[in-house]
Amino acid sequence: MVSFYLRRGLAAGLLAGLLAGLFAFLVGEPQLDRAIALEEASAHHEEIFSRSTQKAGLLFVTGLSGTFVGGLFGLAFAYFRGRLNAGSDWGRSLSLAASIFSGAVLIPFLKYPANPPTVGDPATIGARTAAYFALVGLSLLAVLASWHASGLLKGRGVSQPVRHVTVGLGLVAVVAVLFVSLPAAASPGDFPAGLLWSFRISSLGTQLVLWTGLGVVFGALCERANRRGTV
């Protein structure tokens, strides 16, 4: 049974990754070109791969990474399927994708938004990367704990509005503690604010396209299999 969900995840992840890559190419790459132009204007940096080569490989990379993420999503869906409250695989897929997006992308973005290559001290990149991935892992644990707490409250007969408010406030409190405890984000210095936020929003949009596409396509594949009577 798990293999069915794994294959659907791989297929959905490939398509979602290609869609995310197309979005990044059309929306994100122009912002990155402008950021690199600013860097080259201030100091010359030799590129290992030319920008044309990087752009040509963008869809390949996003498709490959999307396939990998989709496979993990399929495995996670197989595990959580019987534990999710949604009444259909379509709803389960969308809710799982939204939960993972919130923990792995949205919450970390609020603390450590994406920055162009020119922002931040290169000497601190290791520490900044470690802090970011620590927040990703802790955020996912916080979302998982919130889901588990909601199930416990439901089992005790707590009404849905009270359950949602209680779990929501608890999650906000935990995230606030994480934000205060972890190191501050890199200072953008004198980097143009408009270009900086255009880059950040396009980066977040790419992730949103990936996870929305994954949830939608995977859910549609599951519903199609259910109508045909397969697992």
Residues 90 and 199 grouped into a single domain: yes
Dump the DSSP string for the chain: -HHHHHHHHHHHHHHHHHHHHHHIIIIIHHHHHHHHHHHHHHS----SS-HHHHHHTHHHHHHHHHHHHHHHHHHHHHHHGGG---SSHHHHHHHHHHHHHIIIIIHHHHHS----TTSS-GGGHHHHHHHHHHHHHHHHHHHHHHHHHHHHHHHTT--HHHHHHHHHHHHHHHHHHHHHHSPPPPP-TTS-HHHHHHHHHHHHHHHHHHHHHHHHHHHHHHHHHHHHT--
163 and 131: one domain? yes
Question: Is there a single domain that holds both residue 178 and residue 200?
Answer: no
User: Same domain, yes or no, for 49 and 137?
Assistant: no
Higher pLDDT, residue 11 or 1 = 11
Do 69 and 179 belong together in one domain?
no
| 116 and 142 inside one domain | no
Supply the pLDDT for residue 45: 52
Distances (CA, A) of 198 to 30, 107, 195: 10, 19, 5
Tell me, what's the pLDDT at 24?
A: 87
Residue 154: the pLDDT is 87
The boundaries of the domain holding residue 19 are: 2-120+193-228
Residues 132, 177, single domain; the answer is yes
Assess whether 197 and 92 both reside in one domain: yes
Please report, for residues 62, 85, 112, 150, the alpha-carbon distance to residue 65 in angstroms, rounded to integers and kept in the order given: 5, 29, 21, 32
Contact yes or no for 120/133 (Cβ under 8 A): no
Same domain, 115 and 170: no
Q: Are residue 77 and residue 27 in the same domain, yes or no?
A: yes
Residue 17: which pLDDT band, with cuts at 50, 70 and 90?
A: very high
Q: What is the pLDDT of residue 99?
A: 94
Q: What percentage of residues in the chain have a pLDDT greater than 90?
A: 58
Q: Per residue in 99-137, pLDDT tens?
A: 999 999 999 999 999 887 777 677 778 888 999 999 999
In a shared domain, residues 57 and 41: yes
- Asked whether residue 56 falls in the same domain as residue 95, the answer is yes
Number of domains into which the chain is organized: 2
Q: Quote the distance between the C-alpha of residue 175 and its chain's center.
A: 17
Dihedral-angle region of residue 45 (phi above 0 means left; psi in -120 to 50 means alpha; beta otherwise): beta
Residue that wins the pLDDT comparison between 117 and 220: 220
What share of the chain has pLDDT > 70, as a percent?
Answer: 88
